[in-house]
Amino acid sequence: GLYLFDGLKPGQYQVGVQLPAGMVFTYGNICSDNDLDSDIWSNTGLTSLFTLEASQCRADVDAGILEDCDNVTDAGTIAGDEFLCGPGNDPGPIMEVTPPSGGSGNLEYVWLQSHTGGPVGSGVWEVIQGATGPNYDPPLIYQTTWYVRCVRREGCTEFLETNFVLKEVGDEAVAQIDGPLTVCEGDPVVFSALPQTGASYFWEFGPAASPATSTEQSVEVVYASDGPRTVKLTVTKGSCVSTDALEIMVTNNPVICGSPLVIYGNKGHSKNVQITFQVDDEIMPDVTYFIDHGRDGAEFAPVATLTREDRKPGGWYEYIDSDPRHGHNFYRVRMVSPQGVVVSNVVHIENFIGLEQFLIYPNPVKDVVYLELRGDFTSDSQIIVRSMDERVIFSDVIPATTYRYEMDLGALPAGVYFVQIMYNNMQGNQFFKLVKP
């Protein structure tokens, strides 16, 4: 709200103020201290004429502005103090005893509640959403609660508060549920009530629960289908009745429940590879599926992403690899959700041409060369690397279960080498020419 006029010449001046909408001037020149009062005359919006001497700095020309509203002067009173024998009971309404008074215009109400009490504005009060009338009927409460009504006139900013109303919650009977918030479909879980001498219990577990109801203090329950449920408990002790409710989610999410993610692979008449899997993920809106591909079944890299938008009827998902690599192909799926990651089984698809038994690459080779073997050998194979003058440079036995064999030829000099592979009990032979530039 500060202002400055700089570089003025000596002389007589007036300061004028143009009000924003909804604001008015305070009374002008009513204090003996000119540094504190407003110098604006409300009927003109101007100060009186004043003299500015050479090099003089005036810091006492002020304007007092406030909201143009005719607010209440008294918030009225409310009543409804009450003692409830236990938590989970429905308190009675809080009613107006005397209405707000003073001011003019429509009234606006806000209700606040606190579980500790104390002055309004001390940080322990919260606004009750939707409570905007002169009276208020609280819902079920589970702990002692204070209430207060605030009121103002429309167009004003300041609220005035009524007296407090106290709804005190006792502990003659206490319904308190101890149980999980997330339950796996088909898995037994236990819900327990706070044990109390002389109390009786009644449980309601919701649809697809076995048992559906119980009168035991602690109950083992199994849910046959997924979805949200409300577990309700009523505890009675003498004439006091207390209730509690627990909102739970029954799920078959494999991330939470440890269910396997199983994928299937199929190579059609063409070279296309089809990867399919089925997931009941209707209650998992934030799930993403990453299709990973690898050459050896140990190291993978993502090649595609599927989301719920790709879901087919019945919860099926499909990925088509229209250009699988020559040789061995390994696929897996990672299901990623806010709850964690589930990794599927690994599917192995061979893509050899005709009667081809082996695949060697890269060729030419710089250092490491890979040999892929067709996966139907029942006996070990032997690999021999020879130089141009038929000297044996390298020899090794490859177990029958090997899909991919690795050789490090980085130490060999540049030249041409011959690779011999003997297989099927050494009855079969295949030769490759390998170039090392």
Q: What pTM was computed for the model?
A: 0.54
Lowest mean pLDDT among 1-10, 111-120, 285-294, 384-393: 1-10
- How high is the pLDDT of residue 235? 98
Tokens standing for 168? 């005190």
> Which secondary structure element, helix H or strand E, spans residue 273, and what is its range?
strand 273-278
Q: 318-365 pLDDT, tens per residue?
A: 999 998 988 889 999 999 988 788 899 999 998 877 767 888 888 899
Distance CA 276, CA 288 (A): 15
53 or 271: which carries more pLDDT confidence? 53
Asked if residues 141 and 115 have their Cβ atoms less than 8 Å apart, the reply is no
Q: What are the pLDDT digits (tens) for 28-87? A: 777 777 777 788 888 888 888 988 888 888 888 888 777 778 899 999 999 999 999 999
Q: Which of 208, 192, 350 is nearest to 271 (CA)?
A: 350
Contact 400, 377 (CB under 8 A): yes
Task: List, in order of start, the domains of the chain with CATH numbers.
Answer: 1-68 (no CATH), 77-169 (2.60.40), 177-251 (2.60.40.10), 263-351 (2.60.40.10), 358-436 (2.60.40.3080)
The pLDDT tens digits of the residues spanning 378-392 come to 788 899 999 998 899
Q: Give the amino acid at 111.
A: W
Count of Cβ atoms closer than 10 Å to residue 358 Cβ: 18
pLDDT tens for 94-124 read: 999 999 999 999 999 999 999 999 999 888 9
End-to-end CA distance of the chain: 81
Distances (CA, A) of 187 to 204, 344, 345: 18, 22, 23
